[in-house]
A and B are shown apart, each in its own frame.
Chain A
Amino acid sequence: MTNHWRDIKNADLILINGANPAEAHPVGFQWFVQAKLDPQRGPGAGGGAKIIHADPRFTRTSALADIYARIRTGTDVAYFGGLINYVLQNNLHHESYVTNYTNASFLVKKEYGFTDGLFSGYDPKARKYNTASWGYQIDDAASVAYNAAHPPAGGAVATLAKRDLTLQDPQTVFQLMKQHYSRYTPEMVSRITGIPQDQFLRIAKLVGEMGQPNKVMTIVYAVGLTHHTTGGELIRSGAVLQLLLGNMGRPGGGMNAERGHANIQGNTDHAISWEILPGYLQIPAPQRKTIDEYVAAQAPKKLDPQSWNFFGTNYKKFMVSLLKGWYGDAATKDNDFAFNFIPKPGQNSSWMSIYDQSLKGKMQGLILSGMTATSIGPDSNRVMEALANLKWLVVMDALPTTSSEFWRRPGASPASIQTEVFMVPTTHWIEKDGSFTNSGRWAQWKEQVLPPQGQARHDHWILADLFQRVKTLYRQQGGKFPDPIIALTLKYQDPAKPQLDEIAQEINGFDLTTGKRMSSFANLKDDGTTTAGDWIYTGSYPDSGNLMKRTDGIQDVKTNDPTGMGFFPKWAWSWPLNRRVLYNRASADLEGKPWDQTRPGITWNGSKWVGDVPDYPATMKPYTLDPKAWLPFIMTGEGTGRLFSTSMLDGPLPEHYEPVEAPVANPLHPGQSASPVAFLYSGGGSFGAAKDSFGTVADYPYVATSYRLTEHEHYVTQHVPLLVGLQPHPFVEVPEELAKEKGIQTGDRVRVTSKRGKIEVLALVTKRLAASTIDGKKVYTIGIPIHWGFVGVAADQDPSKGANWLANALTPFVGDANAYTPEFKAFLVDLKKI
């Protein structure tokens, strides 16, 4: 989230796309309700914020929304694109904000283009874009002069882009964008999404109002946007709309991802993904031989003299501090701070690749910890064959999972599965202390609730112990490259049993010259005198103590929330530097006054910025007093928000592409229906290339989407009888009209099939799903909750033992071009009563 949960109460209009917060984030939903109940909020004269829920299904969230729009799954770019077009055509954008705080005025290269659904630079063989043509026009002379006057820090050379602050030049981002989205007429939006034109226009009218400085809208999304081959662009399209309306950086605004598991935000912050290091530093590519080469390639370039380019400028400091934290004395200036100790993946190593590689026979073993590969999917049958192709599988979990039991699932013959499976009992998160970072970036320390049960050990102890043993083996027997293992510091009292408190300190980082803990990443250095296990968390555990433990909250609202905006600065700690709203310089106008006096983010009080922790130098004057002051978006090379992005792999402006399995050809460009750069896997074993297992609408006439229910947490609550009692049996939701056609009634057993597999569960017939008219065609959506498999109370009690209960038996094995996230939310199926 750019903002945070409590901040939703500050909004006038709440767009919910691809999220079902009432069911997946019920506790967070209280802030939506508070906004609704606050008479100061709302469009027009106020009277309560309005909620617009766009979702293929009418859900418990829709029940509390003011407008429910039945959108076809995978089409939110068209929806947001239509809104962008409406705002631009009617001049409803926040003009001062767009001109000064976004890259609307930047001139894009003449070579950039978009025709027949393809951006310039497409290489059909590689299924990749050469993104060179998507850059800005660079003012070479100015750049040279600038670099001469300001010697580049940390290897980041300035390449200054040309701008036209009148926004009239046809190569400005603004004009290109206007042209790009002119195709997204209400009629086109309706053809693609199925939302009736008149309803779309009612929504557009409300949204358009949010460009006024005294109004603010928030967009809330979750995996209903990410679980698509166009996931990255789906989210960007919302962000573009928010920038146009001037809603980024403002309380009550922002682009807000509701994250998953209680600590999934912490997970990404600490680099659970293969392509990043802690703090969103890029994993080095194999060709980067030195740290400077790496920084030059990765650090954002300064594109405007007024851009602070904070990230680019400090990239090296963060990286060196990380390496110093990991490798201690072994990281020296001479060995580039052990830069070459860290792995440099030569190819995509994202989540699905693991199974793809295993199918190709390229993997020996796999450790799954706190993750249920088999149930998660996609294409569970493919995943299970991949697991069967391993020599060994370790499952670290507190409970049996479909992965630990895959070899004896109903219908499998254990004798034919040679994988050796080890179940390593771990403590559950409830049995340990440590921090959770929530969607609003608040790291909150929790205490152990239950003592470890049985022989369970903490994950970090298991891993530390394992590491010590590997290290001993390297010591004793050597190996190809033992240094990264042997030199790794584990400066804990008991290196085999680190305390989470020690790890939290390590993450925060130390000043090696004084031995004290760092209090801000602004003080990190690239000379090897500081450490930071994750620079964005530096300051969470300063010498004064663990700030994540703070609980000064609503016991005393006056003292603890001095601004009244719900920042509660002494409740837990949020990254970066306890800032509650990111980009908050953009919440104030050129004079430093809040766009809306009643909802200040930060305010210039004549000598400094007050309010939230400023996302800006605290005493840097507003532009009216200091025309050379840094632009508000300090992390980007532009210094502005990006309407046009040069760093996405699938296009600089979000464009609607159909899911890989779609009921219609893309009405915008039927020839290029799905994303040209969706990531395809080549497969192996009895499973061929994944693309051969994509079905067509002729064979699989219904659209399906998969989702959560309030009553269950994925697969783990299948072990909790109380919750199983609330949602006992797997089911699919079938629209009433389709059910009538098929003679299906609630409680009937049905079979849902895709090109990849089948499930056999009960039908729940409902009005909450209905047909949509897509490009003139009647299209039904079927709803598939994800929570069941062959493990758990319900499966144990069922005669079928949960055979054919895995929702992911149906989903396609294909990834988003940028994030490689599977397309869980849009696929084609057939439905039969059995």
Chain B
Amino acid sequence: MATPVGFFTDTTLCIGCKACEVACKEWNQLPDNPIQFRDSYDNTGQLDQRNFRHVRFVEQATSNPDKPIAWSMMSDVCKHCANASCLEVCPTDAIIRTEFDTVYIQQDVCNGCRDCIAACPYGVIGFDSQSGTAKKCTFCYDRLQNNKMPACAQACPTQSIKFGNLADLRKMAADRVQALQAQGVTQARIYGDTEYGGLHAFFLLTDKPEAYALPNAESAVLPGRNDVPGYLAVAVTSVLAAIGGLVAFRRRGERA
């Protein structure tokens, strides 16, 4: 197996230029977005089958007179979770973990059941009605196999998206947080060191994860958490229902 790779996306360096979105669309030949005006500079809206990258714009007022607005931009993408909800539920094994430790949907296996969409906690996957399959960031599997870096990271002018060996990136991220903290950016933090066993695409944020539409540590839970309780409830109900059936169906027999 090749060494695990990852993305470290440093939102403090993102200028919202969407070069990553465009590069991804070009490389993966994704369809254009429809002409739809939304309520900010973000007309892409979300990650889906058309958009494997999505630059989120988070605008907040601050009390700093020299920086009255915090306009944070974050290039969102599939997190390639170590414990991936999508991979967990996929019934066809269309979703695999590649030799680069990334999460990949095999288009020729997927049958379009959409269970992965229901499962992904980050709303990453979209259903492509053209191909009838689920689609999301491939981590440029085809490029990695040919020793090329992912298109989005290559296009990013400010290196807000850093691509590389996962372990190196984690180290780099920790250093960056430390540097920012030292400069007084006390809100600087990493998202994705621990969530879902460690995200392969992790982020440097300057606010709570919820502000970037990311579930916080407590909320980042796997779908499988409901497996046992769900079946247990079924079992108990079954027993109670059986008792009900026994009472209802048996009694008349006795009377007879």
Contacts and interface: CB of A to CB of B under 8 A. Distances in A.
A–B contact at 8 Å CB threshold (below): yes
A768 interface: yes
Interface stretch (A64-72, A492-500, A800-808): A64-72
A185 B70 CA distance: 30
A767 interface: yes
A27 B159 CA distance: 10
A104 interface: no
Interface in B25-51: 25-26, 32-37, 39-41, 43-44
A199 B35 contact: no
Contacts of B59: 766-768
A768 B183 contact: no
A202 B157 contact: no
Contacts of A768: 59, 69, 71
Nearest to B19: A26
A48 interface: yes
Among the interface residues B18, B26, B61, which one has the most CB atoms of the partner chain A within 10 A? Answer: B18
B187 interface: no
Contact of A728 (B37, B69, B70, B159): B37
B43 A60 contact: no
Nearest to A736: B61
Given A26-B19, A60-B17, A63-B71, A727 B43 contact: yes
Contacts of A595: none
B31 to A, nearest CB: 9
B32 A721 contact: yes
B22 interface: yes
A68 B157 contact: no
Given A30-B159, A60-B73, A711-B18, A725 B43 contact: yes
A466 interface: no
B72 interface: yes
Chain B interface mostly: loop
A61 interface: yes
A63 B16 contact: yes
A208 to B, nearest CB: 17
Interface string A733-751: 0000000000000110000
User: Which of B33, B159, B182 counts the most A-chain CB atoms under 10 A from its CB?
Assistant: B33
Contact of B71 (A60, A793, A797): A60
A766 B39 CA distance: 9
Given A58-B69, A710-B17, A26 B35 contact: no
A29 B15 contact: yes
B65 A724 contact: no
A66 B65 contact: no
B17 A726 contact: no
B158 A33 contact: yes
B147 to A, nearest CB: 16
B183 A199 contact: no
Given A67-B66, A726-B44, A767-B61, A747 B37 contact: yes
Contact of B18 (A63, A64, A726, A746): A726
Interface string B1-35: 00000000000110111110110011000001111
Given A26-B157, A33-B159, A63-B15, A797 B40 contact: no
Contacts of B37: 728-729, 731, 747, 762
B67 A68 contact: yes
Contacts of B229: none
B17 A26 contact: yes
Contacts of A30: 157-159
Interface string B150-186: 0000000111000000000000000000010011000
Contacts of B72: 63
Contacts of A27: 157
B39 A22 contact: no
Contacts of A729: 35, 37
A728 B39 contact: no
Given A721-B32, A724-B32, A746 B71 contact: no
Nearest to B182: A47
Interface in A223-274: none
A387 B34 CA distance: 34
B68 interface: yes
A118 B15 CA distance: 43
A768 B62 CA distance: 12
Contact of A22 (B15, B32, B40, B65): B15
Given A58-B69, A64-B15, A68-B68, A764 B43 contact: no
A176 interface: no
Interface in B103-150: none
A574 interface: no
Contacts of B159: 30, 33
Interface string A2-40: 000000000000000000001100111110010001010
Contacts of A711: 18
A785 B158 CA distance: 24
Nearest to B22: A722
Nearest to B60: A767
A505 to B, nearest CB: 34
Interface string B198-230: 000000000000000000000000000000000
A513 to B, nearest CB: 48
A634 interface: no
A766 B61 CA distance: 11
Nearest to B59: A767
B66 A66 contact: yes
A766 B57 CA distance: 13
A170 interface: no
A726 B21 contact: yes
B74 to A, nearest CB: 12
A202 B66 contact: yes
Most buried by B among A29, A723, A725: A725
A822 B61 CA distance: 35
Nearest to B65: A199
A196 interface: yes
A60 B13 CA distance: 11
A811 B98 CA distance: 56
A731 B61 CA distance: 23
Interface in A56-105: 58, 60-68
A68 B16 contact: no
Interface in B64-84: 65-73
B18 A710 contact: yes
A711 B33 CA distance: 13
Nearest to B156: A30
B39 A746 contact: yes
A764 B40 CA distance: 7
A66 B71 CA distance: 12
B43 A726 contact: yes
A794 interface: yes
Contacts of A770: 68
Contacts of A65: 67
Contacts of B32: 721-722, 724-725
Contact of A67 (B22, B35, B40, B67): B67
B163 to A, nearest CB: 15
B63 to A, nearest CB: 13
A722 B16 contact: no
Given A22-B15, A68-B66, 15 more contacts: A28-B157, A58-B71, A63-B69, A67-B67, A68-B68, A68-B69, A198-B65, A722-B25, A722-B32, A728-B33, A729-B35, A746-B39, A747-B39, A762-B37, A766-B40
Q: Which 8 A-B pairs have the closest CB atoms?
A: A725-B33, A22-B15, A26-B17, A728-B35, A729-B37, A63-B71, A67-B66, A725-B32
14 contacts: A26-B157, A27-B157, A47-B183, A58-B68, A60-B16, A60-B71, A62-B71, A68-B67, A199-B65, A723-B22, A726-B18, A728-B33, A728-B37, A728-B43
Interface of A: 22-23, 26-30, 33, 37, 39, 47-48, 58, 60-68, 196, 198-199, 202, 709-711, 721-729, 731, 746-747, 762, 764, 766-768, 770, 793-794, 797
Interface of B: 12-13, 15-19, 21-22, 25-26, 32-37, 39-41, 43-44, 59, 61, 65-73, 157-159, 179, 182-183
